[in-house]
C-alpha cells in the first residue's frame, strides 16, 4: 500500500466531489503514475459524509479549484475567439 498521490486526490475532488485526505493509502495496482487507473477511478466511492481537513489541505484544494477555473475560462475564451 502507498499514499494516494496529490494529483489523484485532487482529480477525485474535482471530478467526483470525493475528498481523499492526505496520507490515505491505496494498493499500487489501483494507481498508474500519479493518477488512479481508469477502472479504480470509476469505482471510487465516498465512505463518509464528513472529514477533518487540515489548513494545508484546504489551501491545496483552493489552489486546485482556482487552476481548474482558469482552465475552464481559457477554454471558453478559445471557443469565443474561434467562433
Nearest distance from C-beta of residue 66 to Zn ion, angstroms: 29
Torsion, Cα 12 30 47 65, to 10 degrees, reads -10
Residue 27 engages Zn ion in binding (rule: CB under 5 A)? yes
What is the Cα–Cα distance from 62 to 3, expressed in whole angstroms?
A: 21
Stretch that binds Zn ion, among 11-19, 25-33, 41-49, 58-66 (CB under 5 A): 25-33
Given candidates 7, 14, 16, 30, which one binds Zn ion under the rule CB under 5 A?
30
Contact 53, 21 (CB under 8 A): yes
Residue 61 engages Zn ion in binding (rule: CB under 5 A)? no
Amino acid at each position: 500500500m502507498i499514499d494516494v498521490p496529490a494529483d489523484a486526490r485532487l482529480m477525485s475532488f474535482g471530478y467526483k466531489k470525493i475528498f481523499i485526505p492526505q496520507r490515505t493509502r491505496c494498493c499500487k495496482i489501483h494507481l498508474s503514475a500519479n493518477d488512479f487507473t481508469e477502472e479504480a477511478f470509476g469505482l471510487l466511492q465516498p465512505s463518509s459524509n464528513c472529514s477533518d481537513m487540515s489548513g494545508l489541505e484546504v489551501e491545496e484544494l483552493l489552489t486546485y479549484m482556482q487552476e481548474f477555473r482558469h482552465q475552464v475560462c481559457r477554454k471558453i475564451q478559445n471557443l469565443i475567439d474561434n467562433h
